[in-house]
Structure 1
Amino acid sequence: MYDKLIQITSKSNVMVNELLKNHTYTRLGGKADFYVTPETYEQVQEVIRLANQENIAFTMLGNGSNLIVKDGGIRGIVMNLQKLSDIKTVGNTIIAQSGARIIDTSREALKEELTGLEFACGIPGSVGGALFMNAGAYGGEIKDVLTSTVVVDREGEILTLTADQLDLAYRTSNIPENGYIVLEATFTLEAGEYDAIKEVMDDLTNRRETKQPLEYPSCGSVFKRPPGHFAGKLIQDSELQGMQIGGAQVSLKHAGFIVNKDDATAKEYIDLIKYVQKTVKEKFDVKLEREVKIIGEELA
């Protein structure tokens, strides 16, 4: 398999038994059998087709900001599009490749004096990941500005889809169920004024830095907002802040975050998530639904 993968791309783009904790914001996760970083859309297509031909498991990994990989790692091919990271502006649209950071896309909008992406200035994920979960913050979300996307389907075919075809809703889309891999996204914005856009972005950045525990690895907000409630407030009122299992801790700075405080394992992190869910359910009869995605295998 290694020889076939390096024929598609190159030795520098294929790693064997790569530790995935090196590629996730939580710093959690075991090994990937093959970790592949294609540099062109055609290479992405060929890797998918190879996985199909060889009947080998295939997993797409964004930049790992809203993801927990279990300690046993992931079998088969893990593909990351971090090397597809171009961002360009055409009129009032920004076309960003999947591996570009959504933060950098918002900065491009600022540079070009385009308004609409300010909300994304603190979201740590990739463009592909942002579409995958319709990422949002501070009252804005991807579906507000997304016009279209280019994806690869399960068979390795390239499709161009409108935003309406993705069924974007609160922290969800049909991208996972259809097996799409995002290659690029087109955002349509409005002309704005540099100083006004920057003022909003500076304010949101300050709010994020003062309220979120950025000093420790984490997956960001662990839970979706339950109807009529705030997850962080429920967790705080359950007196869970500071609660720790192994190296994983409910953040003292923001109860909606679980941080990897001291070399946690994925099992400890996941066990703490489950404990928080159980406690909040018992105290307030509210079910906390995970926003973070969990993938991979348990340690044997």
Structure 2
Amino acid sequence: MIEISEIRWQEGGSFVDALLTPGSAYTMASLISGLEAEVVKISVADNHAVLKVWNRESKSDVGLQYYLLRILSAQGIAVSQPLGYGLDLEGNPVLLTPYDGQPLQKLNKSILSTLVRNLIEIHRFPISELKGLSLPQYDFVRYFFPLIEKHEDIKLLLEQLVPKVNMRQNCMIHGDYNLGNILYLNGKYSIIDWTNIQLGDSRYDAAWSILLMKVYAGERNGSTYQSLFMDEGAFAADDFELFEALACLRWILLSRIAPELSKGRGILTRARSILKNNPYLPEDLLA
């Protein structure tokens, strides 16, 4: 587990000061972590924070995340107010945020509606309000489809579909808005994991989120979630199936790279149902 004293802090406030005070008593406990980072909960008396340390393979711009979250939280967007950032001794990026609870365990239409509005607020946030921060822009296929050259069937479909959608890079997107990245505590929602922050297409960002909702939270929740995005005007009438196809292709690719993504009761059945009902995708992609 990381040593707090070894972090070279670039920015920090009272919580960081408390951690660095000689003789400070704090506890650390590991939280569920992904492939890209180690995540720990730090407690100082009754105050709690979360420290995320990216590994060498994941070159996250932690400074961008820190200043972005500071701006968004000040504007009332549902994100954590950052507490500090820096580098560990190996040069790995480190971000400290408040402990904002656990991922949502129960869903209903009201909660889903809140989740939809929170993402749309991000998409509609004026880029001019970022006060000089420059969001990165990436090639869509290269960024979202790693190792695509090894998967010719998906590559060929992408070559057919991407030119049809007139992909935009005109707004801020989260890049991985899913239930695991939405925390809830004492009536407050917090969107976490801004590793994929960039200028992109809100339609793809929403479609990816809808796909994950359908696959992991069930068809009923997914359909309600999709309808709520439609009600907010997130898609033109003929856009959704194209962007759903792109999102589905990404999920299939990632599940081939990391098979654990498709493990679990009903996951493959729901994914196959999406394939069956999308006119742009062959059913045998998950054969």
Structure that is richer in helix per residue: 2
Structure ranking higher on relative contact order (CA contacts 8 Å, 6+ apart): 1
Note whether the superposition's TM-score is higher than 0.5: no
TM-score, with normalisation over the residues of structure 2?
Answer: 0.28
Q: Which has the higher strand share?
A: 1
